[in-house]
Amino acid sequence: MSVEPVEKAERGTHETGMPLVTTLAAAATYFSIAPGVSLNVRSGPGTGYPIVKILPEGSRVPIHCQTPGTRVTGPYGTTNIWDNIASGQYVSDAYVNTGSDGYIRPRCG
């Protein structure tokens, strides 16, 4: 799987003369979770954080930023990288098909 670059925000003018803005959110790339997996989403980057929800099989997630946390072994290897998929929601990168064993997004600040 290849990782598509995120487009930068652009400003322009719609044919009506109104400002037109394309945001990074609109250009977000989604990644598949491992096949046959219902994935725990946690409130922080580690297995010690509470589960806030469970993603059903076949889900796709955006990755806003990534951060180190608890080391986890999953279908895509062993890693300590955790993916931030929404405010206060993290999943282990070991269960997300990013096509890379390393960071593909900026570190969470």
Give the Cα separation of 32 and 12 in Å (integer): 32
- Over the chain (109 residues), the average pLDDT of each successive run of 10 is 41 49 60 97 98 97 97 97 98 97 95
Give the Cα separation of 16 and 87 in Å (integer): 35
CA distance readout (Å), 100 to 48, 53, 78, 87, 105: 25, 25, 12, 23, 11
User: The whole model's pTM is what?
Assistant: 0.76
Give the Cα separation of 22 and 80 in Å (integer): 33
Fill in the amino acid letter for 3: V
Give the Cα separation of 64 and 99 in Å (integer): 16
Q: Which of 74, 77, 80, 66 is nearest to 40 (CA)?
A: 74
Q: Write down the pLDDT at residue 6.
A: 41
